[in-house]
Amino acid sequence: MVGKANHRGFGHVRRLPSKRWQASYQGPDLGRHKAPRTFVTKVDAEAWLAAERALISEGKWSPAALRRSGDSGSIRLEQYAAGWLRERRLKPRTREGYEHLLRRYLLPAFGHAPLAQITPSHVRQWWVSLNEDTPTINARAYALLKAILNTAVADEELVANPCRIRSASSAHRARDIRPATIQELETIVEALPQNRRAIALLCSWCAMRIGEVLELRRKDLDLARGVVRVERAVARVSGRPVVGPPKSAAGRRAVTIPPHVVPALQQHLDSYVGRGANDLLFPARDGRSHLQPTVFNDAFRKARHAAGRDDLRVHDLRHTGATLAAMTGATLAELQQRLGHSTVVAALRYQHAAQGRDAAIAEALSQLAARK
């Protein structure tokens, strides 16, 4: 009978934080011997212990460390990463992103390597070989490798994590975002097709994410109270729409609509949205399925060109809305709630952007004095 912790019997099995099982036993040499790998199920761990006990009974046992040869003494990264990914509750889009990073960046470099043979030197050599023009992707790949190996340390597959490059998980923003001015926003909205204008209004003046906007239903818009409720978001996974909760728990929120935007939203409801409570505000051409973001992107590119802002992305509309809200004097807590952020870090960035207006105000005061 295989024993558990604090139970009599041969060997010891325990469940690790990763949900995998570890097996160990005290050998004839009175030393503690662990299985060279962890197991998906408890039964597998017990089977390994049974095999070890049989070797002892038959007089064929030798210390496990001496029986390991080559790479057999450590699970390979590709095997461990597959289990790591399978055991995590991830949003479909996040899972797809991790699978891409593994397939494209991590497995070619480390896939066949036993975990114990991945050294800090190997990690540094891989890091410097990455394309310098893709800092965000590089940081995400490194962060994923570090997370997987952190779990391996917790599972006692590794003594220490070889990912030790300072700040490698943090990518510096490759471009400075310049928010649109109110006049530029007006030009962009006017240049969009009439049935797409409300998308830009919600992304900017309500600082909503495009995935949140494209999943809005008639029931989510309460124009009598001037509120839009954000309960869900849609993302494209393998080319298909997947509806789920917003990006974070704080993403579920009620956003007050600026009064000057309400008439345009009412016109959109009257002209382009079905009468059912669950009818999409921005459906595809068939009237039932979700509008593909690329369809709006195509129209947005033409509209931003009309405003002379070819540098502006759709997500920059949300950035613009957040900066405008900060310029009204909104506190960090108010910005955090309006944007649906779990922490104040991002809200602080927008508030700093608003404080930068002080130089423009000072310049305007000097011009006022010069005219006088």
Task: Say whether pLDDT at 71 is over 80.
Answer: no
Q: Span 328-340, mean pLDDT?
A: 84
Q: Span 141-157, mean pLDDT?
A: 91
Task: Say whether pLDDT at 44 is over 80.
Answer: yes
Highest mean pLDDT among 57-71, 158-172, 297-311: 297-311
pLDDT of residue 351: 66
Which of 49-63, 211-225, 356-370 shows the lowest per-residue confidence on average (mean pLDDT)? 356-370
pLDDT of residue 21: 87
58 pLDDT band, cuts 50/70/90, is confident
Which of 29-43, 78-92, 185-199 shows the lowest per-residue confidence on average (mean pLDDT)? 29-43
Which residues does the annotation mark as catalytic? 209, 315, 318, 341, 350
Highest mean pLDDT among 1-5, 262-266, 355-359: 262-266
Task: Say whether pLDDT at 66 is over 70.
Answer: no
pLDDT of residue 372: 54
Percent pLDDT > 70 in the chain is 89
Task: Say whether pLDDT at 178 is over 80.
Answer: yes
Residue type (1 letter), 12 = H
- The whole-angstrom separation of Cα 273 and Cα 250 is 28
pLDDT of residue 361: 58
- The whole-angstrom separation of Cα 305 and Cα 370 is 35
274 pLDDT band, cuts 50/70/90, is very high
Q: How far is CA 236 from CA 80, 210, 233, 240, in A?
A: 28, 12, 10, 5
Chain mean pLDDT for the chain: 86
Bigger pLDDT: 340 or 104?
Answer: 104
Looking at the chain, list the stretches that DSSP marks H as alpha helix, in order from N- to C-terminal side: 42-57, 64-67, 77-86, 92-101, 107-110, 120-129, 135-154, 182-191, 197-205, 210-213, 262-272, 293-306, 315-327, 332-339, 345-355, 357-371
Residue 234 near residue 290, CB atoms below 8 Å: yes
Task: Say whether pLDDT at 174 is over 80.
Answer: no
Task: Say whether pLDDT at 230 is over 50.
Answer: yes
100 pLDDT band, cuts 50/70/90, is very high
pLDDT of residue 74: 66
Q: In the block, which residue shows the tokens 């006022």?
A: 368
* Segments making up each domain of the chain, as ranges: 2-67, 77-154, 182-315
Residue 257 near residue 266, CB atoms below 8 Å: no
144 pLDDT band, cuts 50/70/90, is very high
Which of 21-30, 208-217, 301-310 shows the lowest per-residue confidence on average (mean pLDDT)? 21-30
Task: Say whether pLDDT at 163 is over 90.
Answer: yes
Task: Say whether pLDDT at 339 is over 60.
Answer: yes
pLDDT of residue 350: 72
Q: How far is CA 93 from the centre of its chain?
A: 8
Task: Say whether pLDDT at 206 is over 90.
Answer: yes
pLDDT of residue 195: 95
Q: Which fold has domain 182-315?
A: hpI Integrase; Chain A (1.10.443)
305 pLDDT band, cuts 50/70/90, is very high
How do 227-230 and 233-237 pair as beta strands?
unpaired
pLDDT of residue 354: 64
- The whole-angstrom separation of Cα 331 and Cα 333 is 5
User: Tokens for 68?
Assistant: 């390991």
Q: Span 162-191, mean pLDDT?
A: 86
Please state the pTM of the whole predicted model.
0.65
Bigger pLDDT: 176 or 182?
Answer: 182
- By CB atoms closer than 10 A (0-12, 13-18, 19+), residue 272 is middle
pLDDT of residue 225: 93
- The whole-angstrom separation of Cα 328 and Cα 52 is 71
